[in-house]
């Protein structure tokens, strides 16, 4: 309590100096200001309980941090606690002085009123300082990635651990199995038109290829819904804030420049929210559960989204940018689950089982990888990739992934759950205290272009005519898995402009 004007003045100076504490310009505050969601609630105790481990975790995930990042975070945390304590004490004193004013008369009352005015000013300073401190604290903490699973391999992509392989024997690498050559031979893929309308890597799918995309969508949905996933068609445009909270950071942390993978929509007015195109329907699906309290008996929540994914793919070059392997817009079927903390690891294995069922039905040769730390991004605690063999490309290509994001997204999106009562008393009078944060998981049920590449390069049939430099490849048709046949609405004949081939269902 402040008994003298000198002490009150000293505490006011503490508040003012705390207000000026900032390690760098805030990157997140302008984005969060555009949302109605609560501010992210991060676990500062966990982040600061073992600073060397927190720093090592970020470095192993290729997240560059300044040498004083965690010391600044710790200092801000201490400042926050100090300000909260001072603020609570000052408010209590303000209440006492208010009671004194009502009971006092004459000079004593005037003295109390003067003190009340000083306390009110001091509280305002504390509140401003606390807001600034918490903004800087949150900004530093949000730039840290999730903690990696203890079993996650360390290092770059080539350090991935193979968990299993399944499917038929690999077809040898063969340039004649190039999906681009096959699709253009039968006029199924038009890149010249897209060069005029949009640019490179925005292909038109025609005829049988367009119908095959629709068949794959329906096929993947049929398996997902069989396993209890509720179909959702989410918006493909999301608030930048939601993308941030999911761990898809539209701005580069080091330069504060536009990130290389996100398409932004230009606002129509100064008051319009900042919007971007979703890089995956995981983002709007996660946003669907934002600011929600779910009863534990209703967990896990399983949804499967059908959406378009938009990737700027800045810096991509070489053979991967040909054809369908790496494009700016594609259809993606996404599995998304909200679970309790205890269930998330088992749910991840269940999702992997659903994905395996989908690709096994397509007859592809697949390997499952436990991805290393540098491939986890910001949000994943653990990540599995499935890669299919693509003989035309002569290498494996990612067709799906599964990530357990633990509470990384839910703390940012405010997704909590109410635990089931452990006793009749708790059912009537639930225990007080903060609710636990849910865990979120996402997985690809079908990344359509990658599946098209794998199906074409493994299933095409061709003959070679001539010899040497005069040799030519004549494509005859395509073998496709019988599991897709009931979802395919076209005829078994493919091709236009005089070139015809046949689909054989095997």
Residue 330, marked binder: yes
Residue 151, marked binder: no
Residue 327, marked binder: yes
Residue 329, marked binder: yes
DSSP single-letter state for residue 437: B
The H or E element that residue 60 is part of is helix 51-60
Residue 280, marked binder: yes
The H or E element that residue 416 is part of is strand 415-418
Residue 474, marked binder: no
Q: What is the dihedral of CA 68, 74, 79, 81, to 10 degrees?
A: 170
Token code pair at residue 410: 């839910």
* Gap between the Cα atoms of 24 and 30, Å rounded: 14
Residue 312, marked binder: yes
The H or E element that residue 333 is part of is strand 329-339
- Which of 419, 428, 438 has the alpha carbon at shortest distance from 297? 419
Residue 260, marked binder: no
Residue 442, marked binder: yes
CA angle, 319 then 324 then 330, to 5° = 135
Q: Which residue is it, tokens 């079908």?
A: 446
Residue 68, marked binder: no
**69-103 and 106-142 helices, crossing angle to 10°:** 160
Residue 338, marked binder: no
Token code pair at residue 385: 């990739």
- For 50, 118, 286, the CA distances from 238, given in Å and listed in that order, are 36, 46, 11
Is the Cβ–Cβ distance between 201 and 313 less than 8 Å? yes
Task: Kindly report the number of other CB atoms within 10 A of residue 464's CB atom.
Answer: 10
Token code pair at residue 433: 């205290």
Residue 349, marked binder: no
Q: What is the dihedral of CA 327, 329, 333, 339, to 10 degrees?
A: 100
Residue ranges for the known binding site are 280, 311-313, 327-330, 334, 398-401, 442
Annotated binding residues for L-serine, written as ranges, equal 280, 311, 334, 442
Query: Which residue numbers belong to the known binding site for ATP?
Result: 311-313, 327-330, 398-401
């Amino acid at each position: 309590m402040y008994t003298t004007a000198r002490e009150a003045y000293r505490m006011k100076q503490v508040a003012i100096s705390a207000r000026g504490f900032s390690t760098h310009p805030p990157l997140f505050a302008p984005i969060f200001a555009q949302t109605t969601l609560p501010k992210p609630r991060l676990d500062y105790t966990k982040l600061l309980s073992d600073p060397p481990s927190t720093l090592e975790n970020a470095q192993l995930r290729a997240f560059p941090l300044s040498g004083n990042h965690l010391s600044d975070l710790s200092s801000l945390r201490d400042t926050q606690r100090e300000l909260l304590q001072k603020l609570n004490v000052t408010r209590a004193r303000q209440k006492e002085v208010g009671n004194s004013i009502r009971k006092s008369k004459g000079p004593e009352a005037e003295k109390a009123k003067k003190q009340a005015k000083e306390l009110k000013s001091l509280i305002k300073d504390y509140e401003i300082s606390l807001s600034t401190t918490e903004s800087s604290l949150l900004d530093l903490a949000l730039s840290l990635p999730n903690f990696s699973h203890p079993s996650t391999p360390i290092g770059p992509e080539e350090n991935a651990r193979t968990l299993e392989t399944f499917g038929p024997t690999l077809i040898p690498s063969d340039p004649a199995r190039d999906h681009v050559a096959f699709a253009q031979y039968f006029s199924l893929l038009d890149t010249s038109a897209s060069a005029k309308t949009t640019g490179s890597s925005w292909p038109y799918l025609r005829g049988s290829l367009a119908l095959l995309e629709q068949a794959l969508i329906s096929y993947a949905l049929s398996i997902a819904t069989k396993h209890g996933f509720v179909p959702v068609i989410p918006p493909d445009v999301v608030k930048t804030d939601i993308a941030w909270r999911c761990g898809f950071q539209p701005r580069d942390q080091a330069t504060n420049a536009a990130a290389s993978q996100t398409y932004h929509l230009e606002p129509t007015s100064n008051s319009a929210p900042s919007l971007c195109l979703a890089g995956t329907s995981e983002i709007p699906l996660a946003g669907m559960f934002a600011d929600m309290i779910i009863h534990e008996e209703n967990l896990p929540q399983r949804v499967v989204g059908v959406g378009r994914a938009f990737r700027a793919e800045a810096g991509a070059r070489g053979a991967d940018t040909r054809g369908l392997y790496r494009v700016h817009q594609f259809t993606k079927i996404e599995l998304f689950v909200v679970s309790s903390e205890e269930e998330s690891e088992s749910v991840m294995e269940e999702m992997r089982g659903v994905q395996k069922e989908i690709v096994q039905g397509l007859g592809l040769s697949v390997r499952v990888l436990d991805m290393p730390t540098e491939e986890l991004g910001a949000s994943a605690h653990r990540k599995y990739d499935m890669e299919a063999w693509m003989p035309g490309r002569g290498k494996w290509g990612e067709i799906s992934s599964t990530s357990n994001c633990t509470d990384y997204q839910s703390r940012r999106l405010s997704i909590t759950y109410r635990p089931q009562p452990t006793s009749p008393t708790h059912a009537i009078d639930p225990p007080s205290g903060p609710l636990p944060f849910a865990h979120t998981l996402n997985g690809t049920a079908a990344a359509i272009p990658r599946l098209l590449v794998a199906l074409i390069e493994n299933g095409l049939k061709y003959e070679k005519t001539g010899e040497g430099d005069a040799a030519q490849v004549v494509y005859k048709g395509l073998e496709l898995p019988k599991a897709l046949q009931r979802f395919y609405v076209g005829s078994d004949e493919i091709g236009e402009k005089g070139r015809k081939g046949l689909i054989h269902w095997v």
